[in-house]
Every structure is written in structure tokens, then in C-alpha cells.
Amino acid sequence: MNGYRPISEKPNPKVQRILLWRESFLKLQDNHFFELMRMYLGEIKTPYNKQKLIENLGSFLHKTEIKEKILLLISKEDVQVLSAIVNLECPNQQMLSNFFAGAFPLAKLYDKLMNLEERLILFQYTDENTGKSVYALNPLLEEDILPLLSLNFLFECVENVEFSKKDFIPLSAQFIA
């Protein structure tokens, strides 16, 4: 073996998620992109290169002290939303609002999602299978955040929510699978 990867071989899943994360910044409107970059990197000098700025942001997020600060600011509600995002397949806004109906008011959930995006914990990308915008955990932070997440937090969300018979889906082998 010469150490080269065949062209047809796809990069590993984490590399793919990092590429999706970087691409999500390129799709942001310029004013939002630069607002986020200034917030985390400070003044942006011209001429600028968006790819280089995204790379600098990635380096910023790799710093241990930054990761520690991000983790310290994660609330229980953040953990509940993040646990849902990690455990649901291709979670979009509608799916999350349905999932948290009765646990979070809709406006509070949307504010929470936007806040998690601005804190660089979440990002959105377009799922190639559904064409919908879905949420994902920032791949640069996932190793630090995943240990905080659990299905138990999701059960706490719905523990005090009252359900009617129409809210339940009959269990089938297909549903369980």
C-alpha cells in the first residue's frame, strides 16, 4: 500500500460532518456570517477569505479553555434539545417542535435552537436525502458534548406532559425498528 486513498473512497464520517459544518457557514448570508466571525474572532481585516475565517473559527473552537467555557454554559434545557437532536434521525425544526410540543412553548424552542447555533454548538445543513434543513451537533465539539447527553433527559421533557389517546402511535415491529 502506498498510503494513498482511492478517489472513490469517502472520507470518514467525522470528516464529512466537519465539511458540512464548514459548508454551512458558506451558505449563511454575509451579514450573519461576518457578525458571527466578529463575535468569535474579533475584527476582520480586509482582504478576507471566508474559508480561512472558517478555518480560524475551527482553530478557536479547538482551544481547551474555549471548550470548557462552552460546556460550562450548557443548561439542562440545552441538554434536552441536544439529546433530541443527536437521537432523532435528521431532526428539522418541525420535527423538534412536534417532539417538544407540551414541554416547551414553540417560541422558546426556536429561541433555544437559534441560541445554540449562535453559540456554535449546533449548525444547520440541507439533508441530501430529504432536501430539508436539519440540525446537527458541531463536530468540533461533539466529543466534549456527547458525554453530557442522554435519552433520560428526553423522558424528563415529556414526564409532566399530558397525553391523549390520539397522541399515541400503535407499536409495530416497523415502528420499533
What's the pTM? 0.79
Give residue 165's pLDDT. 40
pLDDT tens per residue across span 45-82 = 888 899 999 999 999 999 999 999 999 999 999 999 99
**pLDDT at residue number 2:** 54
Q: What pLDDT is attached to residue 172?
A: 45
The pLDDT of residue 45? 87
Tell me which amino acid residue 114 is.
M
pLDDT at 130: 85
Write out residues in the chain with pLDDT < 70, as ranges.
1-10, 153-177
CA angle, 54 as apex, 46 and 135 as ends, to 5°?
Answer: 140
The pLDDT assigned to 31 comes to 93
Q: What is the pLDDT of residue 177?
A: 39
pLDDT at 153: 64
